[in-house]
Structure 1
Amino acid sequence: MGGDQAPEMIVQGVDIALERSPDLKIILVGDEALILSLLKTTKRLKKHFPEIIHTKKVIADEEKPSVALRQGQGSSMSLAIDLVGNGKADCVVSAGNTGALMAISKKVLRLMPGIDRPAIAGFFPTKHGESVMLDLGANISCDAKNLVQFSIMGQIFVRTVLGLRRPVVGILNVGIEGQKGNNCVREAAATLQRMTNMPFEFYGFVEGDDIPAGTVDVIVTDGFSGNIALKTAEGTSQLISQFLRDAFHNSLLSKIGYLLVRSAVKQLRQRIDPRRYNGAMVLGLNGIAVKSHGSTDALGFANAIGVAADMKRYRFLEKVCEELINNDFDLPEEQSKLATTA
């Protein structure tokens, strides 16, 4: 029931996801009467009839996470997360209130041993393919320990889901020089540089222009900077698309020119389309939770479902736990105690 165009966008997105992966089993949580009326407009979902859990209670987009945590019991978001918590579903996908999703997921699914805070990770297009950035907004401020844990989770994710054998990790900073940045990023960098014989390479500091350049495979930052980078990238993508539309409608000659290059323009639009990269993963939980952008459409939501399904197919949770327990990441003393407890 969450999202600017929900629940229509959700139902249509599930329908697209089923076209791509007919083996998916879907549970829809929300207003049953409204959902049933929307199923009539679908192609595949009405044939592969989903389970519906009825509730009219919805967490509003503007609701504070603390309020949602106290009063959200019985809401569509809370019931959906409970399904993952009690093992009746493998993953939850929501386009609703991000703060509420984080708060309720953390309470119900719990943190993985050795992880202090969950982080939101998302894909970014680059010159070389795709990179992953975290955190994108779950933690406005972070300490060095958090950034090191984000680095570990991020490199496991790209090895598991993207198939990279030895990913390169970088910390987002105001410069690449070692003395740049605050104590938090410098301490995190020093810790990562001490890690040897690990299945990833630490590049050092990266700047904003390194993100689209694909300098590293994993960009690590706090949620404040990460969310600004994400929204800037999405806005730039929309601006470029608008510029293209304007350029090819300025004159008759430009319209003729468009006919000659439209296949290339189509490829460009697809490459920078934010819907293609929709689906931010909440890493660090004992369960799979994926946050869809609230303003996306059905295609974007289908991509978010695909991200969640891939995390389950490639056993992401199991692999993170295995690495946290079995590898000596040369963590600072208080972090080592967490890993030992795991």
Structure 2
Amino acid sequence: MSLPVALDAMGGDHGAPPNVEGAVAAARAGVPVILVGDRVKLHAELGRHAGSASLPIEVVEATDVIGMDEHASDVRSRTQASINVASRLVKEGRASAVVSMGHSGATMASALLTLGRIKGVERPAILTHLPAKGGFTTLLDAGANADVKASYYAQWARLASVYLKVVEDRENPTVGLLSIGEEDHKGSALVLEAHGLLRALHGRGVNFHGNVEGRDIFRNTTDIVVTDGFTGNVVLKLAEGEAKVLFGWVKEALQSGLKSKIGGLLVRGSLRGLAERMDPSTYGASLLIGVRGLAFIGHGSADARAVKNALLRAARAHEANLIPRLEAAFTEQTSG
């Protein structure tokens, strides 16, 4: 059986229930899981799912949990926190990946401290998928680094290019640099410097398209969009917020009168499919790319479906040998 995925089962706004339910669904789909957290609570929660005893689910004790309102820096001193125990399972080779719907800052800090960085990567980034025309656009950094150097953009472009190639079967994915205009001379001093570095990498592991604007993200103008973590996080939250509001407006419009209600019944199936595409839980969690191990960070408000999808994604990344492939790409670049 393949290596299990370690789940920080106490993390998130709702604690153990959605984590355990998602783990049970993933285990039924063939992904073995290690639940990390309060053994008694986790076994009690597992007991609520019929047939869970026969599934490939293991429980590992962690006596502490870093709450959503606590500091990420607590990771250093609280060695028995569930996120630290889960990260250590990856480091020790007992788990293929760590997944957490808990404190995102703590997850990043724990992964970085426990697993370290891939050689040649200055700072890891949060890689996320945003629903776009024809599928999705991969955006990074979605919030790990508010302050950046131009060199980070070039490293992230290379990391994301390898990721899309090996995990998503995208051959020679295109990279766009988020700016305030498509022209090469548009953007801040930092963006202009990054543009030069990306242009120099074109054809050497990066297929650089040039500058892209905010609207291009949803048009899928490029497969990958690179930006700093501050901007990327604003883009991500804006997209999720706007999708919810727009969907609310559509529902209101379809309930505004008898004709609209009849029309609403006719398009209900199509709208359900659209809602699914726009739902963040479809992708489950975002990858912290650049650390020497697989670490996935989900929404605190994640439901069981998001947890299941995050676990499936983590297993897929491990099966695709993502970390060795990323390390190889950076070794080739530095030796080439």
| TM-score category of the 2 structures, normalised to the smaller one | over 0.9
Query: How far has the Cα of 1:43 moved from its partner?
Result: 4.1
* Residue type of the alignment partner of 1:53: V
In 1, Cα distance between the equivalents of 2:239 and 2:230?
Answer: 15
* Residue type of the alignment partner of 2:55: H
2:86 is the alignment partner of 1:58: no
Name the count of aligned residue pairs: 327
Alpha-carbon displacement from aligned partner over 1:275-332 (angstroms, at most 9, x marks no partner): 11331001011100001111121111111112211110111111111111123xxxxx
| 1:74-89 alignment, distance < 5 Å | 74-89=80-95
Instruction: Describe the SS at the equivalent of 1:78.
Output: helix
Tell me the equivalent position of 2:317. 311
Tell me the equivalent position of 1:97. 103
Q: Stretches of 4+ moved more than 6 A in 1?
A: none
Tell me the equivalent position of 1:192. 198
Task: Answer yes or no: is the 8 Å Cα contact 2:26–2:32 preserved in 1.
Answer: no
Task: Answer yes or no: is the 8 Å Cα contact 1:15–1:44 preserved in 2.
Answer: no
Tell me the equivalent position of 2:112. 106
Instruction: Describe the SS at the equivalent of 1:46.
Output: helix
In 2, Cα distance between the equivalents of 1:246 and 1:46?
Answer: 45
Task: Answer yes or no: is the 8 Å Cα contact 1:120–1:280 preserved in 2.
Answer: yes
In 2, Cα distance between the equivalents of 1:305 and 1:290?
Answer: 9
Tell me the equivalent position of 2:24. 15
Task: Give the 3 Å change call, closer, same or farther, for CA 87–177 of structure 1 in structure 2.
Answer: same
In 1, Cα distance between the equivalents of 2:242 and 2:52?
Answer: 35
Alpha-carbon displacement from aligned partner over 1:143-171 (angstroms, at most 9, x marks no partner): 11111101110111111111111100011
* Residue type of the alignment partner of 2:27: L
Tell me the equivalent position of 1:169. 175
* Residue type of the alignment partner of 1:185: V
Instruction: Give RMSD over aligned pairs.
Output: 1.6
* Residue type of the alignment partner of 2:63: K
2:187 to 175, 181, 189: 181
| 1:117-156 alignment, distance < 5 Å | 117-156=123-162
* Residue type of the alignment partner of 1:284: G
In 2, Cα distance between the equivalents of 1:107 and 1:203?
Answer: 34
Tell me the equivalent position of 1:267. 273
Q: Percent of aligned positions with the same letter in both sequences?
A: 34
Query: How far has the Cα of 1:244 moved from its partner?
Result: 2.6
Deviates more, 1:94-103 or 1:54-63: 54-63
In 2, Cα distance between the equivalents of 1:318 and 1:56?
Answer: 32
Query: How far has the Cα of 1:105 moved from its partner?
Result: 0.9
Instruction: Describe the SS at the equivalent of 2:122.
Output: coil
In 2, Cα distance between the equivalents of 1:267 and 1:69?
Answer: 40
Query: How far has the Cα of 1:196 moved from its partner?
Result: 4.5
Tell me the equivalent position of 1:336. none
Task: Answer yes or no: is the 8 Å Cα contact 2:65–2:82 preserved in 1.
Answer: yes
Tell me the equivalent position of 2:254. 248
Query: How far has the Cα of 1:208 moved from its partner?
Result: 0.6
2:291 is the alignment partner of 1:282: no
Task: Answer yes or no: is the 8 Å Cα contact 2:173–2:207 preserved in 1.
Answer: yes
Task: Give the 3 Å change call, closer, same or farther, for CA 48–248 of structure 1 in structure 2.
Answer: same
In 2, Cα distance between the equivalents of 1:45 and 1:174?
Answer: 52
2:211 to 205, 211, 217: 205
* Residue type of the alignment partner of 1:124: L
In 2, Cα distance between the equivalents of 1:164 and 1:128?
Answer: 13
In 1, Cα distance between the equivalents of 2:195 and 2:76?
Answer: 38
* Residue type of the alignment partner of 2:42: I
Task: Answer yes or no: is the 8 Å Cα contact 1:30–1:55 preserved in 2.
Answer: yes
Which segments of 5 or more consecutive residues in structure 2 lack a partner in the other structure?
1-9
Query: How far has the Cα of 1:243 moved from its partner?
Result: 1.8
Could you tell me the TM-score, scaled by structure 2's length? 0.93
Could you tell me the TM-score, scaled by structure 1's length? 0.92
In 2, Cα distance between the equivalents of 1:124 and 1:43?
Answer: 35
Query: How far has the Cα of 1:199 moved from its partner?
Result: 4.3
* Residue type of the alignment partner of 2:33: I
Task: Answer yes or no: is the 8 Å Cα contact 2:154–2:198 preserved in 1.
Answer: yes
In 1, Cα distance between the equivalents of 2:203 and 2:214?
Answer: 28
2:236 is the alignment partner of 1:227: no
In 2, Cα distance between the equivalents of 1:229 and 1:197?
Answer: 28
2:308 is the alignment partner of 1:302: yes
In 2, Cα distance between the equivalents of 1:241 and 1:39?
Answer: 35
2:54 is the alignment partner of 1:47: yes
Tell me the equivalent position of 1:3. 12
* Residue type of the alignment partner of 2:135: G
* Residue type of the alignment partner of 1:59: I
Query: How far has the Cα of 1:34 moved from its partner?
Result: 1.0
* Residue type of the alignment partner of 1:85: K
Deviates more, 1:186-195 or 1:312-321: 186-195
